[in-house]
Amino acid sequence: MIQITPQMRILVAVEAVDFRKGIDGLAALCRQVLEADPLSGTLFVFCGRSRRALKCLVYDGQGFWLCQKRLSTGFFRAWPKSDSSPALPLDPHQLSTLLWNGDPAQSQAAPMWRRVTAVGAP
């Protein structure tokens, strides 16, 4: 089972990919296009050309997980875009928003990290 944790690194491929690709093809894209190691534990998110479906690829230490979500109607409207980078990082709450066909740029949550001070400390 794939578990999305607050510490997980998530990368979204900006360009659409050929959805005939399986684990090996997507892992090769991670290395060649995204310049990232697919064995690092990073969760990679890919979108098909029609934007009706997305695939998530992650390595859990024993093997790869490949998940696909296909919308029954419509398409993913708010797919992240970039002019310079082939992949963009997402926070876990942004991925959750994207999976529910929302705009991850519009999702709001508490900061991922903030300094905690003891009560009465200067």
Return the pLDDT at 24: 97
Beta bridge partner(s), residue 119: none
Q: Are 121 and 105 in contact (CB under 8 A)?
A: no
In this structure, what DSSP letter does residue 17 have? B
Enumerate residues 6+ apart whose C-beta is below 8 A from 9. 40, 41, 42, 43, 89
Beta bridge partner(s), residue 67: 56
pLDDT digits (tens, 9 = 90+) for 109-121: 666 666 777 777 5
Return the pLDDT at 5: 83
Distance CA 79, CA 122 (A): 44
How big is the chain by its Cα radius of gyration, in Å?
16
Distance CA 103, CA 9 (A): 19
Q: Where are the alpha helices (DSSP H) in the chain?
A: 23-32, 92-99
List per-residue pLDDT tens for the chain, 122 residues long. Answer: 577 888 889 999 999 999 999 999 999 999 999 999 999 999 999 999 999 999 999 999 999 999 999 999 999 988 888 778 999 999 988 898 888 888 887 777 666 666 777 777 56
Strand 10-13 and strand 53-59: pairing? unpaired
Return the pLDDT at 116: 73
> pTM value?
0.85
